[in-house]
Structure formats: C-alpha cells, structure tokens
Amino acid sequence: MGKSERTSSENAQTFALRNKEEVERFSLLLALYFKSQLGWTSGHISLPKAFDKFREHPEGGRLFAALLDLEINFHLLFVEFVYFVGKGNKYYTSKVFEGGGSVLDTKERFFAKMKAHQHASAYILRYRAFWDKLMGFLILAYLPDNYEEFRRAKSRKRKFVQLAKESTFLGEEFADNVSKLIEDFDRKFRTPEAHGTGSLRKWSFLMEDPISNPQSELLSCWNALNSIVVQIVERLDIQYEMNYVSDALSFEI
C-alpha cells in the first residue's frame, strides 16, 4: 500500500454514536428495520440503558461498541433462523410438496428447498461468528485486563475457557458448557460448511420437513445461545425496554 493509500485509509470516516440521543435513535431505527423484515420486534438488549451503565466501566467505550455489534448481529442471526425454520416449514407444508416425489420434479420444489438451504448456510456461519464476538465481549466486560491476551490468542475459544474458569464472574461450569456447545457445533456444522465440502446440502434437498432431519439441531443451538444471552443481559442489568420501544414504534409508524 502506497503512502497516499495509507493516508486515505487513515482519514476515512467511521460511524459512531456520540451521545444517548443518537443511541436511542439508532435503537429505534434498528427495531423498525427488523419489524420490516419479520413483522414484529424482538430482542433482549437495551442499548440506551447499556450506554448509561457502561460509563462506569474502565473499558466503557470499547464495551459499548462490542455490545452494539452483538445487538446488530444477534438480530441478523435471528432473521436467518426465522427464514430457515419458518419459511422452510411453510414451503414444505404447502401444496408444492404434496404427493411425494423428488425435489427435482418441479422448479417450485427446488426453489423452495434452495431458499431454505441459503438461509441455513448463512445461519451456520453467522452463528459461529457470533460466539467469537460474545466471548470477546464477556472477557472485556469481566476481565478487561486480559482482553489483549484473549484477542492475540491463536485459539480464542481455548483462551476464553481458560480465562473464564479463573473468573468468579463466569466460572468453570459456564466455561465448560460454552466449550462443549461450540465444539459440537463446529464438528457437525461449521467445519464442514466453512472448511469442507459441506454437510448441510446432504439434508437440505430431502423430501421431508427440514425439522425432521439433522438440520433440526440448529434449533437447539439457537435455544442454547438465546438462553445464554438472556442470562448475560439480566446479569448486566441492560434488559430490553419493551414498553418504551412499543410506544415509540407506534408513534413512528
């Protein structure tokens, strides 16, 4: 990279939320966007509450930025999940699949299965990336002095487990549960999809409900992650302000 290119890159603008009013506006627009995608709003994290609370944290700015990234990606992951489970199930139970046969019989059948496969594939890669983000957030929140050590580790999962076991805030049981969940997910889904020839395609085009084949394990993976996010949000006392958002949405719409 030449000198002029480096200067241009260094001077490029970056997006940032500068005050609570901007955080509240961003949070509202985010809710509106996902309402447009799904027909409803859902979530666990209150960005305005977190913005106030993290002021007291020694790494407050970095911690809020990490949380903002989690909030955006959690919703994006949920959209993939809903489209895979909901839309795939809707297509399967429609007249498109009546009478048995093969997914190759009609364009409608193939397109329906391909759509479900598309979202399931995206879900797998985004799900695993979310875990890396979540582990980094937890280290930054509870063990900020060890964050750079975690960030530079060759295996962040192993480093997270090691650090979490030494922490009174996270603990050995939590660390072991997270480790097992990620290892199982990597073995069954992420490694074949990201580094191999894929395993998802072996099931996506079967003439059965995707929830009836091994893809159904993606549902339990979502439930496990969702449960952990709820626990973390409650512990940090940054719960989603549902009444406020509902009122604001009604006003905006």
Give 209 or 224, the one with higher predicted confidence: 224
Kindly state the percentage of the chain with pLDDT values over 90: 53
**Tokens for 111?**
């397109």
Classify residue 10: in a domain, yes or no. no
Give the HSE-up count for residue 148: Cα atoms under 13 Å, Cβ half-sphere.
2
Classify residue 12: in a domain, yes or no. no
Structural contact between residues 43 and 71, judged by C-beta atoms closer than 8 angstroms: yes
Cβ-proximal residues to 77 (8 Å cutoff; 6+ apart), any chain: 123, 126, 127, 130
pTM (2 d.p.): 0.85
Residue 62 to residues 10, 141, 150, 215, Cα–Cα distance (Å): 19, 10, 15, 36
Q: Domain residues for 177?
A: 20-252
Angstrom distance (rounded) from CA 223 to CA 227: 6
Residue 21 to residues 69, 146, 219, 241, 247, Cα–Cα distance (Å): 18, 32, 36, 15, 17
Instruction: Kindly state the average pLDDT of the residues 24-36.
Output: 91
Structural contact between residues 193 and 186, judged by C-beta atoms closer than 8 angstroms: no
Question: pLDDT digits over 166-216, tens only?
Answer: 888 899 999 999 999 999 999 999 999 989 888 888 888 888 766 677 888
Classify residue 1: in a domain, yes or no. no
pLDDT at 251 over 50: no
pLDDT at 38 over 50: yes
pLDDT in the model for residue 252: 41
Instruction: Kindly state the average pLDDT of the residues 45-58.
Output: 93
Classify residue 64: in a domain, yes or no. yes
The model's confidence at residue 15, banded by pLDDT at 50, 70 and 90, is confident
Classify residue 14: in a domain, yes or no. no
Angle between helix axes 107-142 and 172-185 (nearest 10 degrees) is 150
Compute the radius of gyration of the chain from its Cα atoms: 21
Q: What is the mean pLDDT of the chain?
A: 86
**Tokens for 103?**
């997914």
Question: pLDDT digits over 128-168, tens only?
Answer: 999 999 999 999 999 999 999 999 998 999 999 999 998 88
Residue 63's closest CA among 162, 144, 169, 145?
A: 144
pLDDT in the model for residue 249: 46
Residue 75's closest CA among 114, 27, 132?
A: 27
pLDDT in the model for residue 88: 67
pLDDT at 9 over 60: no
Classify residue 5: in a domain, yes or no. no
Angstrom distance (rounded) from CA 221 to CA 80: 13
Classify residue 13: in a domain, yes or no. no
Amino acid, single-letter form, for residue 143: L
Structurally, the chain folds into a number of domains equal to: 1
Classify residue 159: in a domain, yes or no. yes
Instruction: Kindly state the average pLDDT of the residues 216-230.
Output: 91
